[in-house]
Chains A and B, each alone.
Chain A
Amino acid sequence: MTATVDPITLAVVRGALETAQREMTLTLEKTGRSSVFNLAHDYSNALFDHFPEMILQGQDIPIHLGSLIPAMKCVAEYFGDDIQEGDVIYHNDPAYKGSHILDCCMYKPVFYQGELVFWSVCKGHLTDIGGPVPAGYNPDAKEIYAEGLRIPPVKLWERGKRREDVINLLLTNMRARRDQEGDINAQYGACRVGERNMIALLDKYGVDTVKACIAELKNAADQQMRSLVRSVPDGEYLGSALLEDAGHGFGEMEITAKVTVQGDNLHIEVQSPPQIPYFINSYEGNSMSGVYLGLMMFAQLPPPYNEGLYRCVTVDLGAKGTLCNAQEPAPHVNCTTTPMETLTDAVRMALEKAAPERVTASWGHASGINIAGIDPRSDEQYVTMVLASIISGAGATQVMDGWHACGPLSCFGALSSGDIELLEYAYPIIIHRYGLVQDSGGAGYHRGGSGTAWEVEPIGHEMTVIAFGEGRQIPTMGAAGAKNGLQDEKLGRLVVSGNGKEQVYRANTIVTINPGERVTNVNPGGGGYGDPFSRTIDAVLEDYRNGLVSLKGAELEYGVAIRPQDGSLDEAQTARLREQAHRHSA
């Protein structure tokens, strides 16, 4: 590396940035008011420099982080030279490069001796943003205007003064006002903690040194990514993935990614069908998150993460007005999972074609629910996204089975589903089940991780359940010869039961249920890796013993025959099944 910066100071600055980001995250977690913040960690923090380029991307939610890069630039440009010390800017609108309108982002410029040096940025999913459907997921919206409150860049604090009128305008439009107010305060606390840390750093080393170090950190990340890209043979690589019809009636759709590698440059070109009047259109900011996540899954680089990583990467999201490059008035609220996860799969799979030794199986996509109603204990309205309902299985890799309950892909293990007692304390519900789903992990030499089921019943009130996502028709993709023998078990679904009846939904829907009735939200397992008929028999027996694989699953998916009476192995039948399978494949 060029010795423009003292390497010791460089390491110190790097550590200080990481500490600042970590302390921001801690503040949000401890003070957040809604369960989405304080239990589920559905928020992300980042620091930007004056350009503004991202100088530290934390290890929070991947869906947020990619979109922060274009959004920050868009917000700074919007205010131009009217960015003052003490300002705090708020924004959610996808037309200004936001992800979806529930993800509200706060941007606090950090001034030092009168000069704008950094931005302390905090993005989080509010539980409600107004509009006709609690929690914002409105499958009937034909336009973005029917989804909720759009917030273009607006100042909540101006030169240090809190603009009660503007904050009141926002809160007046939202359900469960106290939660939203608490979450906005928590974001403000996080931004201030970030600012406090950055100013201490500047006090110690001075603006010039810190800036030089940051430039060097971005260069280092750039070099890392470039050397990875250089190691991939030049050429064009295609990846594509299918998106199911989650209830819109337009049928299945294909998203493709073409990756062109030339030297140490990478160009990613996305193609997707025209946008549709259904809430799965993805605007630019959100699509960038999808592309970057696919890239990071492939690259598997160690931290630090900053915008330098993407300097050698150019992205073309396809024509305006398409699913992955949507424009007004396309409705979009579901976009952070659908179609983002399919886009991520397509990008990752294209890259993997260039480097087969890096192949991994797909992670389960999100199929989840929001719940809302009037809490009979307080007569107050409650609304929340149930993050526990989207925890799917992770994909298997070359070296191991997928993690159970670690998805969905879009969150990549960064979420936390929240303790069931804390959820029952916060909301008038009984959670009858939160557990792993048998046979849900994709079959493979390495098995995909199991998905989860979340079963709920309201107490003393009528509850609205709003479903979103997909993964209820097309199973998670396996890799390297993985093949499922069961189909339905691999899929997510929504089951409404009560009064002796049971109804299964495989599309997005809104249902209301009463005490005595239950909704079970099931989400998919991860994909398997490699030929399941060569999985070790011991591993299959162990899975059977642990109830992760059924008798039928063991036989159909893995060619392992087990005697139901005592769980012992039927060796002769197993040998026959496995031989048969190998003859077939040969």
Chain B
Amino acid sequence: MRSKYRLGVDAGGTFTDFVLAEKTGDVRVFKSPSTPHDGTIAIKAGLAQISEALGESVESIIQQCDLCINGTTVALNALIEKKGAKVGLLCTAGHEDSIEIRLGHKEEGYRYDADFPPAHMIVPRHLRRPISGRVLVDGSEHTPLDEAAVREAVRYFKEEGVESVAISFVWAVRNPDHERRAREIVQEMMPGVFVCTGTEVDPQVREYTRTSTTVVNAYLSPVMRRYVERIDDYFRSLGVRHPVRYFQSNGGLSIGEAMQGRAVNAINSGPASAPQAGLYVAKPFDIDNVITVDMGGTSFDITLTKGGQTNLNKNIDFLRYRIGVPMIQVETLGAGGGSICQVDEYGMLQVGPESAGATPGPVCYGKGGTRPTVTDANLVLGYLNPDAVLGGTIRLDAEAALAAVRKHVAEPLGISVERAAYGISTIVNLNMVSGIRRVSIERGYDPRDFALVCAGGAGGMHITALAEEIGSNTVLVPKVASVFCAFGQIISDVRYNYMATEPMRLDGTANLDTLNMRFDDLEQRGTEHLQADGFAPEAISASRSAEMRYVGQIHECSVDIAGGVITPDRLATILADFHKRHEELYTYAEPHNPVELVNIETTLVGQVSKPPVRTLTPSGCTLSDALTETRPMLFDGEGHWVDTPVYAGERLDPGLLVEGPAVVEEPTTNIVVRPGWTLVLEPNNCYRITRNA
């Protein structure tokens, strides 16, 4: 049977988004309410909608899909709601408290807050069982594994009803024998119970990070397994041709089998597909430096991709759990259309992170909200149509928005209501710019070298202002902005990261044979994995990176390196790249000082074909055909109202130039084109807004 479709299902907290791409290039979008207790219910409901719209049976549609892709928040939700499995931890005697000590650190921002509570412990102390047995830094065995202690601990786990076991020993990353043996004993004594080890889940030097990651994985994997089994069964019953693919936090796909044992790899998968979507949208313009920004009702997610390579995070605190595995760096801020504006005890205007959410929502929704939000300010500024009817039911209340901005912001600050509204917009933009700095300047990148790709319902109103602030000259707003992440998932590749620890000084004594062998080994393992997934050799590619530092430093600096045999000449290039990267990041390099390698990493990618891009053709309309009205709007804090044309995006032909100031209205978002910018709808169904020369 010929494949005709590709299906993406992104199960979010509130809605499950469906994207069906046809081979013709058409992309259809559907939504159904999420059903967290059983994800298949929402999927059935969504598929029923699709079936009705296409006049074709669900089975027939699924059987004609080349791939069905599922992004899920099931792991994330279990982590947030503390509803993972009951976990027992086997750890090296003397170090059973590392996940509770958390390096002795209290999070920044709460230094003098006496009531800030300690972090939640997934494994309480009595379920962290100390096991004698010690490996040293060089991988040698200092003390043999106390197998009797392992058995004793497992007996205790059984008594306590432990459902999942994590094993993480000190320096197992240099010699995993003890972990392997302990795992065998657990499997023998607790058959069927989920068990994972530190070296499997996060093979890098850093005992606390590795143990914490392993514990989180053990906590979530049984939950993920139940979910994946249910979804896989359901799709199999519909006659799906290939296993369902699941989206991971590293921005790639995985098959269900791999996902079941590595739930920690999926904890922030939701926004992790944004870079793929951004690159895809930017490709026709030969742009591969993109910053994606996704602004919804409560939050603002940012990612950065330079030269096609997306920033990754490792070793971060995620929901206060230390996580070592690579995840797409997603900077999430509490800045959305619903962010509440208030004047704080210092007499300063604050916007967010508190949000009015969906209920009561912004004041202008008339659903009981009394405190002004960013959306209310945008309404005062004229960016939103005061006569708009939201979702067919809610008429925006412009007067109420104005009154709220006046009462809660303008009067306390002693400024005009126009200035207050513009100030709200300025502050929320500032917060977002600060987030963009974290992914760019703090990673050594100049944001002026990037295009901004905008998604989410609220992003369009702020995007040109953000571009002005960070100095970017190009903004892209795809029409699929409202389901940007689901769209990103259907154009993503299968991606697995393989890491190994190989400490060595990179000087004349460096053992390049060992290094080459380790890389080859990682790549071979990855290739076998992908081939088993059904990828042909020509669809598999590998990319390498090395984490290096000056001898004595602790934090590594990751440098991409080319494939192939590493020779002494190639090593010199790698070192030069390291010095350069260090200088980009931290203003200086020390080329005369020795450098050491710590971890190596290979990313294996199984390329998935991309659905074709549909090309728009002009219908011969002129700009005035798309003009709906002219509204006064504010583009500065001085109160200069400007009569600004408003265009209906649905009637705008590709190629027509829209000079700022202007607003383009789409069903789910409004795009504000500030003075000095020009918008054009490109043939790939994406708005491009550029700064006038």
Contact = CB atoms under 8 A, between A and B. Distances in A.
B285 interface: no
B520 interface: no
Contacts, number: 220
Contacts of B102: 405
Interface in A411-468: 412-422, 424-426, 430-436, 452, 455, 459
Contact of B434 (A15, A33, A424): A15
A541 to B, nearest CB: 11
A374 interface: no
Main SS class of interface, B: loop
Nearest to B554: A38
B590 interface: yes
A288 interface: no
B587 A27 contact: yes
Contacts of B37: none
A585 to B, nearest CB: 26
A297 interface: yes
B548 to A, nearest CB: 13
Interface string A351-377: 000000000100000000000000000
B318 interface: no
Interface residues of A, number: 88
Contacts of B414: 3
A7 B104 contact: no
Contacts of B105: 41, 406, 413-417
B118 interface: yes
B428 to A, nearest CB: 11
Given A7-B348, A422-B205, A546-B125, A397 B115 contact: yes
Contacts of A548: 125
A418 B555 CA distance: 11
A26 B442 contact: yes
Interface stretch (B206-214, B241-249, B379-387, B611-619): B206-214
A38 B555 contact: yes
Contacts of B426: 8, 12
A38 B103 CA distance: 13
Contacts of A434: 94-95, 97-98, 101
Contact of B106 (A186, A403, A455): A403
For B101, B552, B593, the residue with the greatest tally of chain A CB atoms inside 10 Å of its CB is: B552
Interface stretch (A77-85, A298-306, A314-322, A574-582): A298-306
Nearest to B102: A405
Given A1-B347, A405-B100, A421 B586 contact: no
B590 to A, nearest CB: 7
A436 B100 contact: yes
A179 B590 CA distance: 13
B588 interface: yes
A31 interface: yes
A511 interface: no
B552 A8 contact: no
B518 interface: no
A185 B205 contact: no
A360 B427 CA distance: 36
Interface in B624-645: 637
A59 interface: yes
For A1, A412, A459, the residue with the greatest tally of chain B CB atoms inside 10 Å of its CB is: A1
Contact of A417 (B103, B108, B503): B103
B323 to A, nearest CB: 14
Nearest to B557: A30
A193 B308 CA distance: 27
B205 A304 contact: no
Contact of A34 (B101, B104, B134, B552): B552
Contacts of A268: none
A38 B553 contact: yes
Nearest to B556: A30
Contacts of A301: 112
Nearest to A403: B118
A546 B126 contact: yes
A416 B107 CA distance: 10
For A189, A223, A421, A425, the residue with the greatest tally of chain B CB atoms inside 10 Å of its CB is: A421
B419 to A, nearest CB: 7
A387 B437 CA distance: 31
A327 B615 CA distance: 80
B347 A7 contact: yes
B126 A547 contact: yes
Contacts of A546: 124-126
Contacts of B112: 296-297, 299-301, 412
B115 A178 contact: no
A539 interface: no
Contact of B552 (A23, A178, A547): A178
A430 B419 CA distance: 62
Contacts of A212: none
Given A14-B348, A422-B554, A406 B106 contact: yes
A414 B431 CA distance: 24
22 contacts: A11-B423, A30-B555, A34-B552, A38-B555, A179-B552, A182-B550, A182-B553, A196-B587, A301-B112, A387-B104, A405-B97, A405-B101, A413-B110, A414-B111, A418-B554, A421-B206, A430-B134, A434-B97, A435-B95, A436-B100, A452-B97, A546-B124
Interface of B: 94-98, 100-106, 108-115, 117-118, 124-126, 134, 136-137, 142, 170-171, 173, 205-209, 345-350, 413-415, 419, 422-423, 426-427, 430-431, 434, 437, 441-442, 503, 550-555, 557, 582, 585-588, 590, 593, 637
Interface of A: 1, 3, 6-8, 10-12, 14-15, 19, 23, 26-27, 29-35, 38-39, 41, 59, 62, 178-179, 182, 185-186, 188-189, 192-193, 196, 220-221, 223-224, 296-297, 299-304, 360, 387-388, 391, 397, 399-400, 403-407, 412-422, 424-426, 430-436, 452, 455, 459, 545-548
Given A416-B105, A546-B125, 19 more contacts: A3-B413, A12-B427, A19-B434, A27-B587, A30-B555, A30-B557, A30-B586, A59-B108, A59-B111, A182-B552, A189-B588, A223-B346, A224-B345, A414-B111, A421-B171, A425-B205, A426-B554, A433-B95, A434-B98
